[in-house]
DNA sequence: ATCTGTGGCGCG
DNA sequence: AAAGCGCGCCACAGAT
């Protein structure tokens, strides 16, 4: 059924609202929610299809007609819901509750399949019929008052019906494979991601370019220094310039060889270890060039011309552990250099709140192991690394009294999370292998429950064939991979449950915060694994900060009960030191 | 001209 | 072959 008037739209939407599950799909003039517009909203209850042509209709009228169906009522099934949610934002419509067939599939296939999550591919697998995407181009080129062709309407109908059918079959798998909690979590977090992308984050491009300009100058100086050394061993062109590509590792390695510096690789550590001024200059050049290339104009090119803000793309399930990833640009690897980070700022009269979990992954390890020393230290708000160092080294350690012992204990604790062995520890601390082995043994003697927990994680993965987080997010690992004696499987078995649980907690916090701040002119603008950035009116910043802290701690307590949660919040007008 | 894999390096 | 975990981006090198 195709409807173009508000009265019929409202009536038919109300009819559909009585069903438990209704699929929702949108057809739009393009793929950019900031510049393209909504043309058609399609619904299906698995039998009937309702196609709402919303072009030219008053926004408030459409909102009122569709709200009883979209906001509350049935579970809305969407494929890649984030996109449709963003497209529906100008109508003031929020979709809830929702289920996302793409995220569901990523959850179910994690570790088994790396691509093949399009609606068409799911349709092939679940329903045995691929969907033709060619027709979508038709919507993109459409004139504003042109009637939809039968082919376009058929395309819209098939898409939304397929989404409904896929979800129904998928739910059985979700149930069977213990994925209900994770599927629910991801669905709950979608609106937070949609909102975050739509809002974007503000950067001061003028100040940013000044930072890059300085880096450019430092890079030039480093190049000149390299020229002085390599002039002796490299070709010099007619203008007297050294004919060497400093961005080519092979060229640079060969040239260093001619200066008597023979390296396995040209990694920073080896270059510095050689101590040769040309190698040191190369490190300086690389650092400067990284800023200029990755964080220069190519980064700023993502400032949106309409909004003046950066609207990055977040992949909600971007990593096999369940972590989020981010691209175009990646807002999760901005250098910590405060000159650069402080370019992320709030508009006039507004504030930026920086909030991060304190020692999130160690708290998760404390939850998994129930280790009494870790639990007590977190409970009392003590310095865990100092506490651990005291236990391991048998002397009272504090940040002031024995900073080096504390650092070593910290390195071990974090190393364990990554599955580090004695060799890795030795390499990092500069100890001998024997010393590192003795230190690890001493650590595990003091913390037998952690030792047992890490071995348990490994054993469970071998038995089950998958690693999993506290919420039951799974990473399936191939038998071949588990049986190979490489150590890689053991490290993943230890790391995924910890890193992944951290991701679960942060996503839950985002869902809580999004809900808490709804309709308040305060919103998330970035997420970096265990850190969140929120923009809000300056006058409300202290209050919002307290609410953010509360919601983050509530999320952590919900996932790892029994461990004292702690989120640290700073209020300012730029992205403060994390 | 465009794609793919690799080294290197930014972040948590 | 192993590598302490997870990402994305830039530049190069080789292939299509």
Q: What is the pLDDT of residues A362-372, one digit of tens each?
A: 999 999 999 99
Interval A546-569 mean pLDDT: 97
Residue A135 pLDDT > 80: no
At A578, the pLDDT band (50, 70, 90 cuts) reads: low
| pLDDT tens track for A198-223 | 999 999 999 999 999 999 999 999 99
Interval A554-574 mean pLDDT: 97
Provide DSSP, A333-397: S----HHHHTTBBPPTTEEEEEEEETTHHHHHHHHHH--HHHHHHHHTT--HHHHHHHHHHSS--
Surface-to-core class of residue A420, CB atoms within 10 Å of its CB (0-12 exposed, 13-18 middle, 19+ buried): buried
Nucleotide with smallest C1' distance to residue A291 CA:
B10
The overall average pLDDT reported for chain A is 95
Q: Which residue from A346, A351, A354, A338 is spatially nearest to A569, judged by alpha carbons?
A: A354
Interval A244-251 mean pLDDT: 93
What pLDDT does residue A143 have?
Answer: 83
Q: Which residue from A204, A201, A205, A260 is spatially nearest to A230, judged by alpha carbons?
A: A260
Interval A418-427 mean pLDDT: 86
CA of A357 to C1' of C7 (A): 19
Interval A159-181 mean pLDDT: 98
With a 7 Å cutoff on the CB, does A333 touch strand B? yes
| pLDDT tens track for A12-48 | 999 999 999 999 999 999 999 999 999 999 999 999 9
SS3 state at A569: strand
Q: Which amino acid residue lies closest to nucleotide C7, measuring CA to C1'?
A: A325
Q: DSSP letter at A312?
A: P
Strands A325-327 and A531-537: unpaired
For the record, the structure tokens of A396 come out as 């009272």
What pLDDT does residue A137 have?
Answer: 75
Name all contacts of A460-466 with Cβ < 8 Å and 24+ positions apart.
Answer: A460/A493, A461/A489, A461/A492, A461/A493, A462/A493, A466/A111
Nucleotide with smallest C1' distance to residue A265 CA:
B7
Q: Which residue from A118, A113, A114, A70 is spatially nearest to A91, judged by alpha carbons?
A: A70
With a 7 Å cutoff on the CB, does A90 touch strand C? no
What pLDDT does residue A432 have?
Answer: 86
Interval A73-80 mean pLDDT: 97
Q: DSSP letter at A25?
A: E
Torsion sign, CA atoms A219, A222, A227, A230 = negative
List all residues 6 or more positions away from A46 whose beta carbon is below 8 Å from its beta carbon: A19, A21, A23, A161, A164, A165, A168
At A302, the pLDDT band (50, 70, 90 cuts) reads: very high
| pLDDT tens track for A254-272 | 999 999 999 999 999 999 9
SS3 state at A531: strand
With a 7 Å cutoff on the CB, does A493 touch strand B? no
Surface-to-core class of residue A178, CB atoms within 10 Å of its CB (0-12 exposed, 13-18 middle, 19+ buried): middle
Q: Which amino acid residue lies closest to nucleotide B7, measuring CA to C1'?
A: A249
Nucleotide with smallest C1' distance to residue A287 CA:
B9
At A185, the pLDDT band (50, 70, 90 cuts) reads: very high
For the record, the structure tokens of A479 come out as 């038998």
With a 7 Å cutoff on the CB, does A429 touch strand C? no
A103-107, A137-141, A308-312: lowest mean pLDDT where? A137-141
Are A107 and A186 within 8 A, CB to CB?
yes
Are A83 and A316 within 8 A, CB to CB?
no
What pLDDT does residue A431 have?
Answer: 83
What pLDDT does residue A396 have?
Answer: 96
What pLDDT does residue A387 have?
Answer: 95
List all residues 6 or more positions away from A233 whose beta carbon is below 8 Å from its beta carbon: A255, A258, A259
Before A424, cis peptide (omega within 30)?
no
| pLDDT tens track for A500-526 | 999 999 999 999 999 999 999 999 999
SS3 state at A329: coil
Are A471 and A184 within 8 A, CB to CB?
no
What pLDDT does residue A140 have?
Answer: 82
């Amino acid at each position: 059924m195709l409807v173009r008037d508000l009265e019929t739209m409202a009536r038919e939407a109300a009819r559909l609202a009585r069903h438990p599950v209704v699929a929702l799909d949108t057809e739009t003039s393009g793929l950019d929610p900031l510049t393209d517009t909504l043309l058609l909203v399609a619904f299906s209850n698995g039998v009937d299809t309702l196609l709402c042509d919303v072009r030219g209709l008053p926004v408030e009228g459409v909102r009122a007609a569709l709200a009883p169906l979209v906001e509350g009522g049935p579970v809305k099934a969407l494929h890649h819901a984030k996109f449709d949610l963003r497209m529906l934002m100008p109508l003031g419509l929020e979709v809830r509750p929702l289920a996302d067939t793409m995220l569901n599939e990523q959850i179910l296939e994690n570790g088994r399949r790396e691509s093949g999550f399009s609606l068409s591919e799911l349709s092939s697998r679940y329903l045995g019929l691929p969907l033709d995407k060619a027709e979508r181009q038709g919507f993109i080129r459409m004139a504003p008052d042109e009637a939809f062709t039968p082919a376009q309407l058929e395309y819209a109908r098939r898409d939304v019906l397929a989404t409904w059918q896929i979800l129904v079959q998928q739910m059985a798998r979700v149930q069977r494979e213990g994925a209900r909690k994770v599927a629910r979590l991801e669905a709950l977090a979608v609106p937070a991601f949609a909102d975050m992308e739509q809002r974007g984050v503000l950067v001061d491009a003028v100040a940013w370019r000044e930072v890059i300009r300085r880096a450019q100058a430092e890079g030039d100086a480093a190049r000149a220094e390299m020229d002085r050394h390599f002039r002796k061993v490299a070709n010099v062109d007619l203008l007297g310039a050294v004919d060497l590509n400093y961005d080519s590792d092979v060229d640079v390695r060969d040239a260093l060889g001619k200066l008597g510096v023979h390296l396995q690789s040209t990694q920073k550590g080896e270059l510095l270890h050689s101590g040769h001024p040309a190698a040191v200059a190369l490190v300086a050049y690389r650092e400067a060039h990284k800023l200029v290339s990755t964080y220069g104009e190519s980064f700023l090119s993502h400032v949106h011309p309409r909004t003046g803000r950066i609207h990055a793309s977040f992949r909600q399930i971007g990593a096999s552990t369940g972590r989020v990833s981010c691209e175009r640009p990646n807002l999760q690897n901005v250098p910590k250099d405060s000159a650069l980070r402080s370019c992320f700022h709030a508009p006039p009269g507004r504030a930026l709140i920086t909030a991060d979990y304190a020692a999130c992954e160690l708290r998760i390890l404390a939850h998994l192991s129930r280790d009494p020393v870790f639990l007590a230290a977190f409970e009392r708000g003590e310095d865990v690394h100092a506490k651990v160092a005291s236990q391991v080294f048998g002397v009272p350690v504090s940040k002031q009294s024995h900073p080096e012992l504390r650092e070593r204990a910290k390195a071990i604790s974090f190393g364990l999370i990554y599955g580090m062995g004695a060799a890795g520890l030795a390499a990092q601390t500069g100890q001998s292998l024997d010393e590192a082995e003795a230190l690890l043994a001493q650590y595990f003697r003091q913390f037998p429950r952690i030792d047992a927990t890490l071995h348990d994680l490994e054993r469970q993965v071998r038995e089950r064939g998958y690693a999993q987080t506290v919420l039951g997010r799974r990473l399936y690992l191939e038998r071949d991979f588990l049986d190979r004696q490489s150590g890689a499987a053991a490290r993943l078995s230890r790391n995924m449950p910890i890193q992944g649980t951290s991701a679960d907690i942060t996503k839950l916090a985002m869902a809580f915060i999004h809900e808490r701040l709804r309709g308040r002119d305060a919103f998330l603008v970035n997420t970096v694994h265990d850190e969140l950035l929120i923009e809000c009116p300056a006058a409300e910043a202290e209050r919002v900060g307290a609410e953010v802290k509360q919601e983050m701690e509530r999320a952590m307590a919900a996932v790892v009960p029994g461990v004292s949660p702690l989120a640290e919040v700073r209020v300012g007008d730029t992205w403060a030191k994390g």
